Structures are given as C-alpha cells and as structure tokens.
Structure 1
Amino acid sequence: MEQIIFAGILLSAITLFATRVLPFEATSVLVLVSLALTGILTPQQALSGFSNPATITIAAMFVLSAGLIRTGALEFLVRLLRSTAKQSAFRLLVMLAIVVGLSSAFLNNTPIVVMMIPVALALSRQTDVKPSKLLLPISYFAILGGTCTVIGTSTNLLVDAAYREHGGPGFGIFDFAPLGICYFLLGTLYIFLFDKKLLPDRAPLSSMLPSDRGATFVTELTVGAEASLVGKLLRDVLPPGKEGVRLLEIVRGEEVIFAGQALDETVAPEDSLIVEGTPQGITSFIEQEGVQIASVVEDAERVEVRSMDLSIAEAVVLPDSPFVGRTVSMLGLNRLYGVKLMAIQRHGRQHRYHLRGMRLAGGDVMLLQSDRRGLDALRETGAVLVVEGVDHLIVNKAGAPLALGILIGVIALATLGVAELPIIAAAGVGILMATGVLRPREAIASMDSPVLFLVAGSIPLGIAMEATGLAQGLVNVVLATLGGMGPIAVLSGFYFLTSLLSSFLSNNATAVLMAPLAFGVASALGLQPQPFLVAIAFGASASFATPVGYQTNTIVMGPGGYTFGDYFRFGLPLNIMLWIAATILIPVFYPLLPVN
C-alpha cells in the first residue's frame, strides 16, 4: 500500500514539475509535506534536501557566479569577442563557443546566457547575422561547457552527492572532463556545420532598430475595416525606403510576420503594423491610410497610447522570475515603473487581447512601451531580461580581481582535496560578502530559489523510491528489458531514458530520480555504479530538443524568435549524435568494472 501511495505522489510531482502549473517552490513544499504526513519518510528525511551538500554547493555557486558577473570580472571575455568577431559570422560563432563554453565549465549557466544575450544582439549588427543564428547556439554552448566539470552544472553536483551518500568516493572537479570535452567538441562541430541550414532567420524587434535612432520612434498601428489600405499589398503601402516611416513587422492574429516576408502580404482588417519613423512621418501615414495607434495595458485597464515619445522594448520573463504565475494586472508595471504593456509573445505566438488576466510563464516576451528610466527600473528588478542590442555588464569593477581570485581558489582547493566542496564554496561566499564585493542582499537575490527548491524537493523523492522498494521494481523492469543484451546496452538505455525525461522534466529532477535506479542496476549486474551515474549526468544535461528541459533554452526562445519546431529540428539530431557518442565513450573513460 505504501508503494502505491508513493507512486501517486511521485506521478503528481512529475506532472507538476513538467507542466509548471504551480511554481517549483510550491510543488516542492507539497512533496515534502506529503512524504512526511503519509509516513513514507521521517520529517528529518523529508527535509534532508535543504541540508544536502549538493543543495549547499549549488546555492554557493549561484553566489560565486553573481560575484564575477556583477563586478565585470568577465568583461575581458566580452572585449575579446568584440575585437575578434570583426565582420565574420563564423569567427563570431567560434569565439562564442570558446567564451561561453569556458565560462560555463566553472560558473552557473543561466547568468552566463543572460549576460551574453545583449552582447550577442550587439555583435549581430556588427556581423550582419540574425540573432536567431546565435542565441540557441549560445544556450547549447553553455549546456555543453557545463558538462566538463563537477561544478559546471547542478546536475553533476547532484550525481556527485548521490554517489557519496551511497558510500562511493564521489567525483573530483575534473572527473567529468574527458567525456565533457569530447561532448563539447562534437556538439560545437555540429553547431558549426548546421547552424546556417537548420536555424531560422529571425530577429527580435529591438535588433531591427538602427543603433542610432535619432528622433525616430516605434509604435503599433491597428488596421480597422474602414482603413484605406485594406486589400492593398504592404509592398505598395509601406515600400522599403519610404520616407518618414518604415515597417518592422506585422501581427496577424497570433502570427508575427517580419518585414522581409510581409511585403507581399495583403493588408487585412485587425492587422497590426509595428512601424518606426519620425512623429511627422507616422502622423502623416495615419491620416493618409486611416489607421489608428494601438491601445496599451496600464495595469488593470486598457488605454489609448498618449505619446509616441516613448521607447518600445521587449522583455523576457526569466524562468525564476517572481512574475511567473501572476496575471499582468497584478504586476503593477505602470504604477511601479511607468511601463505599459502592448502584447505578449508565447512560444512564437503573439497575444494582444485579454492581456490583463493572462498569467505569465517563463520565456514569455512582453512588448513594452516606456521611457528609459522605466525600462532601467524594470531591468533592476532581475525579474526580466530587457532585450536590447546593448550590453550592461560592469557594476562594481573594483571587486573583479577578488571575485575572480575567490573562484580560482575554490577550484584549486577542491581539486587538491583540502576540504569538501560545499565547505570551500561556502567559504568563498563568506569572503565575497565580508569584503563587500557582494552585499548580503545581493548574494541572497542571486540564489535561484526555484532551482534550489526543486533540488530540495527532488532529493527526498529519490530517498523514498529506495525506501518503498519502487526503485528495485523499476530496476527489475530495466534488467528484464535490456539485461540480456549486455551491460553496454543497459548503459545506453539509461542514457536514452534520462535524456528523454529531461526534455520535458527539469534536468535536476531527472538526475535525482534516475540515480537510485543506477545503483540498483549496477548492483544487480555486479558492476561499479560510476559509468551509470556518468550516463545519468550527461543524459540529464543533453536537453536540446525542447525549450523546457533546460532554463537557458527557455531564456533564448523569445529573443531568438524560436518556436518548438526550431528546437526539435536543430536539437534532436544533436541529442541522437551525443547518445551514440556516450554509448561508445563512457565505457572507454569510465570502464564497466566489477565490484571488488
């Protein structure tokens, strides 16, 4: 009976984690309470995820990463990108692979990608490359680079902690490097070969604006049934080079059509035209064609646009944003920041109506209208990534050498085995705050609470899988299915199943739930568990075919204008290639040795 109850809790948790109906924090707390109240785990076991060494280390690495980024310690890498990219798109892609991959091997992936998005948008102008050719590769470079060290991704830290809790020696800082480097090289080669062929040519609205806009403005115009341009080709109404006004994109229903593809479209009632031009040019166009300036949402009400003398910008709702799950009217964007909402783009579809009651999700792109002060205030909340072709990096440059030195010290001491990694990483955090490089408030804010709660809630699920015998039952199913094919087939199957789950479920949750199976299968086969744990670590990180399995994939979706199909088309072949590589290379670098 206990196993049936736990199976219900587990399935409910997986469903909630995958669908994100509730915030990760809420789901994790409900899981802990359910496991304790049903008696499946003791209260100490149910709460053990919060004191787990992996949770402590992950939290500390968030703070250490924030220390480097907030002090501009990585500015030299950005300067290197600018100086070497020149006018070559391929050279820019190579430098992005080096910079992002190297950074992600030692720092948390999410802030690295957030930092690089505005840099990539600025460089895309310089090299005349669409941002959609750069942003998804940046996410992939971060994922691949993170596999190279035990601290490169929280997944590796969780697998390391599970190994130690089961009496193993754990993994050293660079134990994942042999396979991780091969992964990175294979993945990078794939991106270089197929970036142009498989990725779309799209750009966010902000990247289509000239770098020096002068006295031009951007606004949205709606086409009524009585407008004179209804039935005309856009090429005739707004031809390229038209003085005073220029078409950026057209919104038809939920579809966004960029100017290059829209010129041969016939204007229809209810279309919305996003245009840039001088106030005189836009006003003249409105009077001539009978269109109207669109309305905007000011918190709880929709109002007419009162001025064109405002900036239009796109802001991506980050996966860990406090905005997630809240309706637009609850946010108080206009009251708090003077920011007005024009539309929301989700999964490549544009939403302009019923916005006030719409609940935001991670990866949503808000089309905003505001002055510079309002956008800066919104950016400072850390809840969104304001997408612009400029990069704001340096905050406290004086602390950069110390922040970099602390990270190097943490890596060196952990490599030498002076103390356990959680203790060393926590000491680094303490030094950052004691020296004033980061204020305590900044350190706390840098910790990704959804990720930490997800980890703390998943670890007890792994304990309960073993305690109830469910893990052993699943092990028997795996052995009955693949056991007759040999240990390499079982290893390959483990990798495949882990990679499949991480495409829809968080990579961290996937790793925690698969770890008990790895120990059970290894024990049944009389083998050491290390190769199976490596398969889980790399399989959980190999989330390329969907935007939901890995946070960085979600973050670049809006700025790159990607759809689910783009991820599937570009990421699935990479998933398959790395699965084959893992099947061949894991037994080479981590032999399938019998238990002594």
Structure 2
Amino acid sequence: MIIVFGILTLTVILFASDRLRLDVVALMAVLLLLLTGILTPAEALAGFSDPIVLIIAGLFIVGAGLFRTGVADALGQQLVRLAGTGEARLIVAIMLIVAFLSAFLSSTGTVAVFLPVVVSLAQRTGISPTKLLLPLAYASLIGGMLTLIGTPPNIVVSNQLQSAGMTPFGFFSFTPVGAVMLMIGIAYMATVGRRLLPERAHLSGASRDGKTLIDPATLLALYDLPGKLARVQVEPASPLVGQTLAQANLRARYRVNVVDVEPPASQGMIASPQVARSEITLKPMDVLLVKGSADDVARLAKDLQVRVLATGVNPDDLITEETGIVELVLTPRSRLIGHTLREVRFQDAYQVLVLAILRMGAPLDAPTSQVELRFGDTLLVQGDWERIASLLDERNDFVVVGEMRRPPVRRALTRRAPIALAIMIGMLLLISFEVMPMVTAVLLAAVAMVLTGCLSMDEGYRAINWESVVLIAGMLPMATALDKTGGMSLVASGLTATLGAVSPLALMAGLFILTAIFSQFISNTATTVLMAPIALQAAIESGVSPYPLLMVVALAASTAFATPVASPVNTLVLGPGDYRFTDFVRVGTPLLVVMLIASLLVVPVLFPL
C-alpha cells in the first residue's frame, strides 16, 4: 500500500509540474506498478482493453467529422448573427451555444472553432477579448456536464457503476444537473464574473470599409518588438545583389530575419506575391524590412554593404495590400509541441515568418527559430495574404486568432454535412434509448463517418487525442492497484469516518472539494479515474447511494476554472485573451464555490442519498 501511494504521489507531482507529457507519466506509473510486482502484466495492461478507451477515441473521430464537413463552423456563424453587440448579451449567447456543442463534441475542439469567431466578435463590437474568451472556456467546461459523452469524467463514473454491477448513468442523466450548473454559470459570468474580468486594450481597430484590422502598434508592443525592426537598403555594390533570400541566408549568418522586401519603384509593396519569400531576388536599392537586434543589424550592414535607413520602423508597414500579420495559438495535440520552428521547417512549409512568440502572456527573448514550442504558445506571423488564408484550414497544429484586413474565410458546409449531422444524431439516439452498448454505437458512428467520406481514416487518426486515450488506459490500473493493496478502502474509510460521520452531505462536499482541487492542476480525466472508485467505496461503507457521490465527482472534475493549466481550453484562451494567472483565480474561484453549493443543493434532490 505504501508503494502504491508513493507511486500515486509521484504521478500527481509529475502531472502538476507539466515537465512530462501526461501520457508518458501514466505509462511510467504502469511500469512502476509492474516492476514493483504490485500488478501482474494482465492487470497493468487491462486499461488498454477497457471499453472507455475505445469510446473516447471514437468520439474524437465523430467530432472531427462534424468539424471537417463544416457543421461546427456553421453553428459558430449563427452566433455572429444572433449575439448582438451588448457585452452581457454576447456572454450569454456565447456560453449557451458553446455549452450546447460541448455537450456532444470535444470541448477543446469547440473552443478551437469558436476562438477566432469570438475574437472577431470582440473586435467588431469594440469589446475587449478578455471579457469574452474566459466565458467561452468556462462554457465549454460546463457544457461537458450536460450529457454522458460531454466529457470523459462522465463516462468514467458511469463505467465505475457498470463495473460494480449497478445500472450506469443514462445519456441524459447528467442533463438536469448540468442545465442548472449552466444557468448558474451564465448568470454568474453575465453579472459578477463580467465585473471581475480584466479589461485590457483589445488588439483591433476598424477600417473605413467596416472591416476589422489587427492594430500593429498594439501587437508589436505586446510582443516587445519595437526597436527590433529596422529598414535597410541594398547598395549597388552589395554582394546581396542578384542573390535570392534563400541564398543570402541572413537568418543563419546574422540572426536577422527579412520581414518584407520593398522594390524602390513601389515602396511598401512586396516584390511579388506569387513568388515564395525565399526565392525573391534582391536588386540594387531594394529596401528590406528586417527583424534583429541592433548589433546584428549593424554587423550585417557593415559586412554586406547595406545602409540602415531607420530603426523602430512604423508598425503599419507590417500590414499592406499584399502582406499582413496574424496570431496562431498552438493546440493541445499540435505536432509542433516539443520542437523548434527550425526543426519542423515552419517557414518553408507555410511560407510565412514568425516574428515573435508569446508564452503565458510574456514575450520570449530567444530567437524564434530556436524556441522549443509548448502548448498554448502564441505565434505572431507575417506573410502575404494568400499564405495567411491557407493557415485558416489548419485545426490540428494551431488555430488562427485575430481579424485581418481581409476577413478570414470560414469553412463552408460541404455536401456531406447532412450525412455527418445524421450520423451524430443516430449515434445519440442509439445511446439514449440503449439500443446497443455505448461502445458499439460510438464505433459504428466513427466508422460511418469514414465510410461516407465525411473524413478520411488518416484524418480520423489525426483527430484522436492519443494523449487522452493513453492517459485513461494508463491510469485505470492505478485504481486496480489501490483496490488490490487496500489503499482505496483506507481512503474511503477515512472519508467515511470523518466527513461521513458528520452527514452524507458533508461526505459529498469533501469528495467535491478534493476532486476540484486535483482538477485545477492535473487532468480531470486522471482525477476522476482515481476519485470514482474511492467515491463508490465510501458510499458502500457509509450505506448511502453511490449515484449522488459519483455525480458530484463528475461535476467537480469539470470545474477546472481557477488556473490556466487546469484544462486545455483555459490554456487556449490564455494568449489571445492576454490573461494572467491571477485572472483565472479571481474569476474562477468564486464560480467554483457557487458550483459546490449548487451541487449540494441540487444533486441530493435528483439523486437521493
């Protein structure tokens, strides 16, 4: 038992430290349980054959089919037409629509779709994005409380009941409680929460034709770029004349990036939008907009006979009729995470330049090409409009946020959109009326998405968040180890003897608080895998119904409001919203307390103790 608690403590510490991927930590825990002889190989690997693992993987594919066919985007665009311009009304509309989608789709995927939509709304209405993006994240978390498939913790607690030989939660068992939590969450964010949210300067302004623009001056200040940009002119005797930018290789030789090339005949125009940046041939008197330290630019000017025309150039030069800037936020399953831009050849692949990187709201000083990227990093990218437009279809590696001079093109509904919608509705009906086991219905829907061409199998594999799948499979054996060694009984007995002795309501409160605290720092799925069997054992020892106790564990696991690392959706809005860690604590903690009180009042009524 001591060994198991030691492994569990080490696992939680590694989860909270964020030094290793969650799935790697889970696999390490499995290996330690094997190497110490606590579990047999069959027991340690049983998680990978658990139905819950296939259910989670299948739901990722179903959700990807809806995104790929444009169904999710079409629902998002309805928000633009219905929301209006009032701040409170926008918050209510955003939270209602996002919560509804999150009840059936991945919360991270829903936020990824709505992130640019909400930023655009903020810019059009002149409201700071900080007032709208945190409600967006919270709505996706609360939306997971509405249905059985809304979030993995719901499936975990239902599976715990089924494993114990009891009737599992139904598809809509969570809906009454979740609906109450959603109404409370919306009321809180539209009133008290809205006033607690910071109001920082938004990054946009409006052009004369009514289109929304990124304000370059504000962006450059946010990324600490003033003073790092300069304009230099190629002298006729310069060895750069006749060379392409690729041949000049200024980034490797002088740590200077060429942002733009302005031919002398047309100042402010990039040499040729049809030619890749690296293939632009330099000519005498060309003016280069470059990014680099003052020392590096001076060394380049001396060695290559170029004249420094100005430093600290006008930020408006970054946005012209041919070129623009935009921000990209890395998603949780981005293939860029753990690599540098140089390693993935980002500039060559997308033909855009990364000017700067923002991490946890602060700009990084290191050269952009040498930074090992992390989830949630925000990249300030500059390139011609055609290249920027091509970034909009990317959803796996990053999400484009911020409005540009040219309005972003949204994914239109494809001819397979009705098929994808029908498949999802069919899956929900099969699960709701218990026509077949849930795992069968989900796998059937996932395969149907592929066979009908809503997405390819490769796209389906890419849509699966394998980190979550392996995390669940790896943490399930921990519960087995706790049960096998008596650790689970010890924790459950401790809760029963202390809080349970006071009242069943106190026991519920203790489970909620413990689960909620863990969920602020580690995966809510991992937390639920650990807490669900403890809640079940505590219910048995206290002689109360396990249903209300498991319900509050599921609810508490979705209250990851108080830290930016509590959930991927919080991290996704961190950069675009320019939030601080304290913003999440100030706004999220009262909401968590309100949810605790509401759970203690509502759950016993719907699920008697």
Q: TM-score per shorter chain, which class?
A: 0.7 to 0.9
Residue 226 of structure 2: SS of its match in structure 1? Answer: strand
Structure 1 distance, partners of 2:165, 2:397, is 41
Q: 1:307 corresponds to which residue?
A: 260
Residue 398 of structure 1: SS of its match in structure 2? Answer: coil
Shift in Å, 1:331: 3.0
Structure 2 distance, partners of 1:275, 1:191, is 40
Q: 1:30 corresponds to which residue?
A: 28
- Asked if residue 454 in structure 1 is aligned to residue 471 in structure 2, the reply is yes
Shift in Å, 1:356: 4.4
Residue 91 of structure 2: SS of its match in structure 1? Answer: helix
Q: 1:353 corresponds to which residue?
A: 366
1:527 to 527, 531, 544: 544
Structure 2 distance, partners of 1:74, 1:273, is 39
Shift in Å, 1:322: 2.1
Residue 559 of structure 1: SS of its match in structure 2? Answer: coil
Structure 2 distance, partners of 1:27, 1:561, is 30
Q: 8 Å contact 1:118–1:391 — kept in the other structure?
A: no
With 516-525 and 393-402 compared, the bigger mean Cα shift is at 393-402
Which aligned pairs between 1:335-414 and structure 2 lie closer than 5 A?
335-353=348-366, 355-376=368-389, 380=394, 382-389=396-403, 392-394=409-411, 397-414=414-431
What is the aligned length?
Answer: 529
With 523-532 and 389-398 compared, the bigger mean Cα shift is at 389-398
Q: 8 Å contact 2:74–2:413 — kept in the other structure?
A: no
Segments of structure 1 that go 5 or more residues without pairing to the other structure are: 221-246, 253-269, 281-295
Q: 1:84 corresponds to which residue?
A: 82
Structure 2 distance, partners of 1:275, 1:312, is 16
Q: 8 Å contact 1:203–1:559 — kept in the other structure?
A: no
**Aligned residues: percent identity?**
34
1:133-155 C-alpha deviation (Å, 9 max, x unpaired):
11110111111111011111111
- Asked if residue 62 in structure 1 is aligned to residue 60 in structure 2, the reply is yes
Q: 1:151 corresponds to which residue?
A: 149
CA change 1:477–1:69 in 2 (3 A) is: same
Segments of structure 2 that go 5 or more residues without pairing to the other structure are: 234-248, 262-321
Q: 2:105 corresponds to which residue?
A: 107
Q: 8 Å contact 1:396–1:437 — kept in the other structure?
A: no
Shift in Å, 1:376: 5.0
Which aligned pairs between 1:570-585 and structure 2 lie closer than 5 A?
570-585=587-602
Shift in Å, 1:52: 1.5
Q: 8 Å contact 1:339–1:374 — kept in the other structure?
A: yes
Q: 8 Å contact 1:219–1:312 — kept in the other structure?
A: no
- Counterpart residue type for residue 333 of structure 1: F
Q: 1:590 corresponds to which residue?
A: 607
Shift in Å, 1:59: 1.2
Normalising by structure 2, what TM-score? 0.81
Q: 1:125 corresponds to which residue?
A: 123
1:202 to 179, 200, 223: 200
Q: 8 Å contact 1:218–1:274 — kept in the other structure?
A: no
Shift in Å, 1:452: 1.3
Q: 2:186 corresponds to which residue?
A: 188
Structure 2 distance, partners of 1:249, 1:527, is 57
Structure 2 distance, partners of 1:77, 1:395, is 11
Q: 2:532 corresponds to which residue?
A: 515
Residue 444 of structure 2: SS of its match in structure 1? Answer: helix
2:553 to 520, 536, 549: 536
CA change 1:78–1:251 in 2 (3 A) is: closer
1:381-432 C-alpha deviation (Å, 9 max, x unpaired):
7211121325554266111111111111111111111111110010011111
1:233-267 C-alpha deviation (Å, 9 max, x unpaired):
xxxxxxxxxxxxxx325648xxxxxxxxxxxxxxx
Shift in Å, 1:299: 8.4
CA change 1:127–1:377 in 2 (3 A) is: closer
1:354-403 C-alpha deviation (Å, 9 max, x unpaired):
54443322111122233345445555372111213255542661111111
Structure 1 distance, partners of 2:437, 2:35, is 33
Residue 328 of structure 2: SS of its match in structure 1? Answer: strand
Shift in Å, 1:211: 5.8
Structure 2 distance, partners of 1:152, 1:381, is 20
Shift in Å, 1:345: 1.4
Which aligned pairs between 1:245-284 and structure 2 lie closer than 5 A?
247-249=217-219, 251=221, 272-273=225-226
Q: Deviating runs (4+, > 6 A) in structure 1?
A: 216-220
Q: 1:434 corresponds to which residue?
A: 451
Q: 8 Å contact 2:396–2:463 — kept in the other structure?
A: no
Shift in Å, 1:454: 1.4
CA change 1:472–1:274 in 2 (3 A) is: farther
Structure 2 distance, partners of 1:302, 1:347, is 25
- Counterpart residue type for residue 159 of structure 2: A
Q: 8 Å contact 2:357–2:380 — kept in the other structure?
A: yes
Structure 1 distance, partners of 2:128, 2:259, is 33
Normalising by structure 1, what TM-score? 0.82
Q: 8 Å contact 1:298–1:340 — kept in the other structure?
A: no
Structure 2 distance, partners of 1:527, 1:248, is 58
1:205-243 C-alpha deviation (Å, 9 max, x unpaired):
xx42546899x99998xxxxxxxxxxxxxxxxxxxxxxx
Q: 8 Å contact 2:112–2:395 — kept in the other structure?
A: no
Structure 2 distance, partners of 1:383, 1:443, is 15
- Counterpart residue type for residue 473 of structure 1: L
Q: What do you get for the CA RMSD once the two structures are aligned?
A: 3.0
- Counterpart residue type for residue 365 of structure 2: R
